[in-house]
Amino acid sequence: MEHLTLLLAIVIVTALVFDFTNGFHDTANAMATTISTGALTPKIAVGMSAVLNLVGAFLSVEVAKTISGGLINEQGIRTEVIFAALVGAILWNLGTWLLGLPSSSSHALFGGLIGATLMSVGASGVNGGVVITKVLIPALAAPVVAGLAAYLATRLTYRIGSGTDEKATAKGYRAGQIASAALVSLAHGTNDAQKTMGVITLALVTGGVLAPGSNPPLWVIFSAGTAIALGTYLGGWRIIRTMGSGLTQLKPQQGFAAQTGAATVILASSHLGFSLSTTQACSGAVMGAGLGRRGGVVHWSTATRMAVAWCLTLPAAALVAAGAEFLTSRGPWGIAAVAVLLVAASGAIWLASRREPVDATNVVNADAVVLPAASVQDLSVTIPAPPAAATGEQQAPARTATV
């Protein structure tokens, strides 16, 4: 068994950087609705999600095997191809994070792998059947199935809770949201952390360290789980804001229904080895829950922006990765140039994000905050008296209005 080369070590580190961006890019999947409804404070929410992401990484390797031995042909793929693929995925993740768009980290990775492979060896390097059955079909089905499940669950919860005290019911569903958010976080670890495991395993196979068809080693599982957990803990606050209040205003009942529906779809797909987008599943569930409540409104302008981003993710990441592969194939100077461009572009995106920072203190959009019923009761506002007229007319007394 050969030792790790410098290039292979660089690829592994880059894969873990992608996993880190996947973590903070997809934190919103599990915790946006929990934060927006007040079930958990932002810091506690992302901390819990981070721990459960790490635990979920150890539960299955089916998705990892789809990446490492199914999506592209291992034979004939150089290690540089995987590096180029990761560059395309990382840059797309950072760009959509800057815009607050919950796009798919999974499809960014798939697009990067496909684009770099096509540039390197042509269409023969991509397994078209796997792309269709385990990537494209789940991409179309996941938001629809999760949305329908959340819609029906929301209708059911409101029907069951009709005639009961709304304040007490909301409190109970907030507790349910914490449990369902934990389930989504666990599901996210079983699905998304495995994608980086699969990429690192693929790199180890191309570098001759592992035999084709091998499962991810334990150190790969641990490092990938740790990287996504750290990224999750930092919190993708921009995307949490979009998911939590940009799509629709959710009550605790809806948040519980959305998270439960999304977790069910993600866990089922992980068991079957379908590498779907957890972002799309959770976004579809949020929209379904929004429509499930009578009088609920979905902000279709935001949903349209998200849908456009979803459609562009795979081809855009593929295009960037293909360009990166064109440079890496030129030799060591090309690899160095791609690394420099990745660092420079990432730094520029981070600096741009500092112009309007979003963090745990302002992640809940002030325009979208809805006061709970208990805080609205007996809220008195003193309306000052209008100034006395210049003609000497007696000034009207101040009055108090109760909202």
296 vs 62 pLDDT, higher one: 296
Task: Give pLDDT, residue 366.
Answer: 46
Domain ranges within the chain, ordered by starting residue? 6-368
- Closest C-alpha to 88, from 402, 282, 319, 339: 319
What's the chain's average pLDDT? 79
Other Cβ atoms closer than 10 A to 367 = 6
Checking if the pLDDT of 326 tops 80, the result is yes
166-206 helix and 252-272 helix, angle to the nearest 10 degrees: 30
Kindly report, residue by residue over 94-130, the tens digit of the pLDDT: 998 888 887 888 889 889 999 999 999 888 888 888 7
pLDDT at 166: 64
Q: What percent of the chain has pLDDT over 90?
A: 21
Task: Check residue 403 and give its pLDDT.
Answer: 41
10 Å Cβ neighbour count for 201? 29
Rounded CA-CA distance 68/136 in Å is 17
pLDDT at 337: 95
pLDDT, position 87: 95
- Residue-level pLDDT at 282: 84
Average pLDDT over residues 34-42: 79
pTM above 0.85, yes or no: no
Q: 331 or 138, which is more confident?
A: 331
Whole-number pLDDT of residue 379: 37
End-to-end CA distance of the chain: 74
Q: pLDDT tens digits for 131-155?
A: 888 778 888 888 899 899 899 988 8
- Out of 30-34, 168-172, 262-266, give the one with best mean pLDDT: 262-266
Q: State residue 186's pLDDT score.
A: 84
Instruction: Label residue 378 by pLDDT band (50, 70, 90).
Output: very low
For residue 54, give the nearest of 299, 292, 286, 224 by alpha carbon. 224
> What pLDDT shows up at residue 273?
65
